[in-house]
Amino acid sequence: MGKSGWLTAGWEWEYSIAFSHEYWLGRIRTLSWYTLLSEAQKREISDRLQELLAIRYPDEPISVPHVCSVAVLKYL
């Protein structure tokens, strides 16, 4: 009987994407948990996030680091 298991190969790279405050908030508004909230809750969270972004990251655009990971798997 032959060997069995997973053979793996992979790599990753890092990069950054620039977002305006409004664009970043738009991305947050598409999250599944956010879409389930009432309109009042959505407004409250959106307003608070906008305040925090203006305080913490006053200069736009915001540079958000990302990592792309790739794994190649083959079952033997």
Q: What is the pLDDT of residues 40-75, one digit of tens each?
A: 999 999 999 999 999 999 999 999 999 999 988 877
Looking only at the bridges linking them, the beta strands covering 62-75 and 6-19 are antiparallel
Query: According to DSSP H, which parts of 1-76 are helical?
Result: 21-28, 32-35, 39-56
How confident is the model over 7-27, as a mean pLDDT? Answer: 91
User: How high is the mean pLDDT of the chain?
Assistant: 89
How confident is the model at residue 56, as a pLDDT?
Answer: 95
- Taking the whole predicted model, whether its pTM rises above 0.75 is answered as no
Whether the per-residue pLDDT at 22 is higher than 50: the answer is yes
Q: Is the peptide bond before 61 cis (omega within 30 degrees of 0)?
A: yes
Residue 6 and residue 37: Cα distance in Å, rounded?
A: 42
How confident is the model at residue 2, as a pLDDT?
Answer: 46
Q: Report the alpha-carbon angle 65-70-75, nearest 5.
A: 155
How confident is the model at residue 25, as a pLDDT?
Answer: 93
Residue 65 and residue 54: Cα distance in Å, rounded?
A: 19
